[in-house]
Amino acid sequence: MTSTTGNPDGFTFVEILMTVVVLGIGSIMIQSNMLRSAGIVSERADTLRIQVQLDEKLWETREKIVYSDNPSPVGDSGSFNQSGRQYDWAVTVRMAPVGADSYAVRATGRRSGNPNAREVARETYVTLRKTVP
């Protein structure tokens, strides 16, 4: 039915269809960005878990070197579970090029089973001080 004033009484099917299409495309874009954000948050959480564990392993290795009667470069490796995820870590110790009785301790870790997981690395130096009685 047409109006005598020239103004339509409501929306046409094409207008409603275009509105639904535009809203659908907008909601898909919002959803994809939310999923991408969730992936980034999950990756950052993995990185923080690994960093905490690596800092602990660096501290333990430092204590072994400092309080050992005969310190020697020794490495270690293993894995840990946290929040239902498996992580691998490794610690390497080598003589530091800065001088005698100095060691470079490097810890690396990554999430197991994920070939795209980023490797996290932490490094510190340990220098033994000789005390004279």
Share of the chain above pLDDT 70, in %: 86
Break the chain into its structural domains and give their ranges: 13-127
| DSSP per position, 19-73 | HHHHHHHHHHHHHHHHHHHHHHHHHHHHHHHHHHHHHHHHHHHHHHHHT-SS---
User: Are 93 and 77 a contacting pair, CB within 8 Å?
Assistant: no
Burial class (CB in 10 A: 0-12, 13-18, 19+), 87: buried
Type of residue numbered 6: G
**What integer pLDDT is reported at residue 2 of this predicted model?**
53
Share of the chain above pLDDT 90, in %: 25
User: Are 89 and 57 a contacting pair, CB within 8 Å?
Assistant: yes
Per CATH, domain 13-127 is 3.30.465.10 = no
The residues facing 87 across adjacent strands are: 80, 111
The average confidence (pLDDT) of the chain is 83
d(CA 106, CA 122): 6
pLDDT digits (tens, 9 = 90+) for 88-130: 999 988 887 776 778 888 999 988 887 778 888 998 888 877 6
pLDDT digits (tens, 9 = 90+) for 26-49: 999 999 989 889 888 888 888 898
- pTM of the shown model: 0.68
**What integer pLDDT is reported at residue 84 of this predicted model?**
86
pLDDT digits (tens, 9 = 90+) for 4-15: 555 667 889 999
